[in-house]
Amino acid sequence: MTTALPATLATTGVADPVQALGAGTQQPLPDLQACIGEFLRRIVPNTAAYMAARAAATRIAADLRAELYREPQPNTAESDHMVAGSVGKLTAIAPITTVDLLFVLPPKLGISKPGDALKTAWAVLKSKHAGARISDDQTAVLVNDSDATARVLPCLPREGAFLVPGPDQWSLSNPIAEAATLRLMDTMYGNRPRLLMAVLKAWRLHNAVPISAYALELLAQDFYSSAPRPQDIATALADFWAWAKKRTPATLKTPGASTAVTVDAAWHGKAKAAYWRVTLAQSHVMQKKMADAAKEWRELVGPLFPLPGETVGALPAHSENPGSA
């Protein structure tokens, strides 16, 4: 068996972005800071949304457990699976459409190849979930649940981490270390690293930026750990894009694991455009042109970004956001 995700990482609720930013709750929205706070409230899933995604993963884990761990074992349900990825780290954006589930295969199966691990999980799940299939990249079994699509990663424990399927071989993953690293940064910066990641993911989706959401998470963590950073999200964004263009191309190591993520320069053009757009927005703020500043932000991250003077009820509901992490 393996070690369950510590309760302090697994059950932490989601802080209200407006409160985290100190943006206030005046209506109609009075300034750019209030608009940024309301935008983040729309794209950051609330605690109930995270709980629903975790529940979907738990149901699928129960299906695997019933077939693969037939003999009753104490505490099996707490130690044979882990919710990882953006849901596990609370870095998803709404609506949550995908949840990563690590499920530890019992040693009695004697599985040593990632392909065999995938086929074993798929064989169990296809009889319980119509449409269950192995992903095209040969890294997970995809299962559609009413609340989210689960990416099931059948895995093996390895020195506090996990061997998860890769396209050709096992890959070492340590979701506990990843969650702990992010939690420490959030503590130091008042939840702002997580909020910066949310804005970056929204920007990526709205502009079809050629970089993975996970790579942006790793870059954001590197950004905050390399030097003291501004508390203000708008200033931090401009600094991030300027810093990241110099930081990449690069190979980024994941916390607590030997695997790495390669980031090329293909996204530099859109990062440069984003830097100048948010800089222009800041210039508008200095000139008290709040509406013009908000319009630049809307071009940057999409139509869910409100304008000063609008009320919360006048904009699309959180669940209507087409993006996902």
In single-letter form, the type of residue at position 95 comes to P
pLDDT (0 to 100) of residue 23: 56
List, in order, residues 6 or more apart from 314 with CB less than 8 Å away.
Answer: 306
**DSSP class of residue 231?**
S
**DSSP class of residue 316?**
-
Closest alpha carbon to 201 in 54, 87, 301: 301
Furthest-apart CA atoms within the chain: distance in Å? 70
Burial class of residue 280 (count of CB atoms within 10 Å of its CB; 0-12, 13-18, 19+): middle
| DSSP bridge partners of 101 | 83, 152
pLDDT (0 to 100) of residue 190: 82
Q: Output phi, psi for 270, to 5 deg.
A: -75, -30
Mean pLDDT of successive 10-residue stretches along the chain, which has 325 residues: 45 62 64 89 91 94 92 61 93 94 94 96 96 96 91 94 92 92 88 93 97 96 89 91 95 87 96 96 94 96 91 49 40
Distance CA 268, CA 246 (A): 9
Helix or strand (DSSP H, E) at 144: strand 141-144
Q: Count CA atoms closer than 13 A to 242's CA, side-chain side.
A: 11
| Burial track 194-204 (b if 16+ CB lie within 10 A, e otherwise) | bbbbbbbbbbb
pLDDT (0 to 100) of residue 196: 95
Closest alpha carbon to 81 in 64, 97, 93: 64
pTM: 0.87
pLDDT (0 to 100) of residue 2: 39
pLDDT (0 to 100) of residue 315: 43
- Residue 34 vs residues 23, 38, 144, 186: alpha-carbon distances, Å: 5, 6, 37, 21
